[in-house]
């Protein structure tokens, strides 16, 4: 089978490419990535020379470029990870989020219609459901929870989901959608909370915790997300949405303390900074459907996953130091100075 993976030079798409190339030698994995600030060829270096891997540098919102790749490759399956993914950046500058996340998705869907595919899979996020109150631990996001977005990032992802559903209903395009909770693991860009903390502490800098650190996220080790997507594409039902999560809710403060403890540092490294505007309080996935229909369960508990992640950042300093020594410094200044 020929499988197009967009956004494969990013965090989750990169882990997915590694997983697929190494698990299914008979399949051809074709990665399309624009290589934005978040895309990194170093992430793909370990698989770049493999016979069952091909890379194209292209923008998913560039209709001509995408159609040319489809004309050449005639893929069987398309999995769309490519996106602008950072909430804080979407607050600073929403426009590129609309272009990539909505227009880009529409171009990918049109290419699938034109050339015919067995399956299109949209990698979405639990953030499309909005947030849950902190004092109602009994509430979870199910696939029936109404879309209720609160920032440009999630609004753009929800718009893409609606488009995918429209293409299923109108054109009978065989699509599935997954909505996953927060991921962590190797190759995670250091603007995001967990790798930002690890990189800061390894450089003997404090870690910025927004507000009081009370917000809750439901953390999943990235490989578990990759396995879930693979199962949805192979065994999931066309037209369905699958939530992915492992009931691993933690406050940001709990996560910060865990990272500090693992790195042998104390709580004096925590710097409480001004909160994110309209900061979503709690995300929590109910994964009953994917468990019951596809038998998926997360394989890596948080305690083991965070140790593996920290070890990876210790052993791969060049990967993240390269990132934080470039343009990232300007972003960090803009985001955290005077905060």
From residue 268 to residue 287, what is the string marking binding to ligand NAD with x (rule CB under 6 A)? --------------------
Q: Which stretch binds ligand TYD (CB under 6 A): 62-70, 104-112, 202-210, 294-302?
A: 202-210
Candidate list 35, 65, 166, 294; residue touching ligand NAD; CB under 6 A: 35
CB of 219: closest distance to ligand NAD in angstroms?
A: 9
Decide if residue 157 touches ligand NAD (CB under 6 A): yes
Give catalytic residue positions.
126-127, 153
Decide if residue 156 touches ligand NAD (CB under 6 A): no
Candidate list 59, 131, 161, 223; residue touching ligand NAD; CB under 6 A: 59
The residue assigned the tokens 């995408």 is 66
For ligand TYD, give the closer residue by CB, 4 or 199: 199
Q: Residue 5 binds which entry of ligand NAD, ligand TYD, none, with Cβ cut-offs from 5 to 8 Å by kind?
A: none
b/e burial code for range 161-192 (CB count within 10 A of at least 16 → b)? bebbeebbeeeebbbbbbbbbbbbbbbbbbbb
Decide if residue 189 touches ligand NAD (CB under 6 A): yes
Question: What span, in angstroms and rounded, lies between the C-alpha atoms of 178 and 258?
Answer: 29
For ligand TYD, give the closer residue by CB, 108 or 209: 209
Contact criterion met (CB below 8 Å) for 316 and 186: yes
Question: What span, in angstroms and rounded, lies between the C-alpha atoms of 4 and 29?
Answer: 6
Q: Which stretch binds ligand NAD (CB under 6 A): 36-44, 139-147, 196-204, 319-327?
A: 36-44
Residue 31 three-state SS: strand
Q: Which helix (H) or strand (E) holds 116?
A: none
Q: Which stretch binds ligand NAD (CB under 6 A): 87-95, 107-115, 178-186, 289-297?
A: 178-186
Quickly count: other Cβ atoms within 10 Å of residue 151's Cβ.
20
Decide if residue 183 touches ligand TYD (CB under 6 A): no
Decide if residue 180 touches ligand NAD (CB under 6 A): yes
Candidate list 8, 39, 75, 208; residue touching ligand TYD; CB under 6 A: 208
The pairs formed by 35-42 with CB atoms below 8 angstroms and a separation of 24 or more are 35/9, 36/84, 37/327, 37/328, 37/331, 38/10, 38/11, 38/84, 38/85, 38/86, 38/189, 39/7, 39/9, 39/10, 40/9, 40/10, 40/14, 40/187, 40/189, 40/319, 40/323, 41/9, 42/319, 42/322
The residue assigned the tokens 């990194």 is 40
Q: Phi first, then psi: what are they for 122, rounded to 5°?
A: -100, 120
Q: Which stretch binds ligand TYD (CB under 6 A): 206-214, 230-238, 242-250, 307-315?
A: 206-214
Contacts to ligand NAD by CB under 6 A? 6-7, 9-13, 33-36, 38-39, 59-61, 81-85, 100, 104, 123, 125, 157, 180, 182-183, 189
Contacts to ligand TYD by CB under 6 A? 87, 182, 192-193, 196, 208-210, 215, 217, 252, 276
């Amino acid at each position: 089978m020929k499988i197009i993976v967009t956004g494969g030079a990013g965090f989750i798409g990169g882990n997915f490419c590694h997983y697929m190339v190494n698990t299914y030698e008979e399949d051809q994995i074709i990665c399309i990535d624009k290589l934005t600030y978040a895309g990194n060829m170093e992430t793909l270096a370990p698989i770049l020379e493999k016979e069952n891997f091909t890379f194209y540098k292209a923008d998913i919102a560039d209709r001509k470029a995408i159609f040319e790749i489809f004309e050449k490759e005639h893929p069987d399956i398309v999995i769309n990870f490519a996106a602008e993914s950072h909430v804080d950046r979407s607050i600073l500058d929403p426009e590129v989020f609309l272009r990539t996340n909505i227009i880009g998705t529409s171009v990918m869907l049109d290419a699938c219609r034109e050339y015919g595919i067995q399956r299109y899979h949209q990698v979405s996020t639990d953030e499309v459901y909005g947030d849950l109150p902190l004092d109602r631990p009994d509430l979870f996001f199910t696939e029936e929870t109404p879309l209720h977005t609160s920032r440009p990032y999630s609004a753009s992802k929800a718009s893409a989901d609606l488009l995918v559903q429209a293409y299923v209903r109108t054109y009978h395009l065989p699509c599935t959608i997954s909505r996953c909770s927060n991921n962590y693991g190797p190759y995670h860009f250091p603007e995001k909370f967990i790798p930002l903390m690890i990189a800061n502490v390894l450089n003997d800098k404090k870690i910025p915790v927004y507000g009081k650190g009370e917000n809750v996220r439901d953390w999943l080790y990235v490989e578990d997300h990759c396995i879930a997507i693979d199962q949805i594409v192979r065994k999931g039902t066309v037209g369905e949405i699958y939530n992915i999560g492992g009931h691993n809710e933690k406050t940001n403060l709990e996560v910060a303390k865990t990272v500090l403890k693992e790195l042998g540092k104390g709580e004096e490294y925590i710097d409480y900074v001004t909160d994110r505007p309209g900061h979503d309080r709690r995300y929590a996935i109910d994964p009953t459907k994917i468990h019951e229909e596809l038998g998926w369960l997360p394989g890596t508990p948080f305690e083991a996953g965070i140790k593996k992640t920290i070890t990876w950042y210790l052993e791969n300093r060049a990967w993240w130091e390269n990132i934080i020594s470039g343009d990232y410094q300007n972003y960090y200044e803009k985001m955290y100075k005077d905060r």
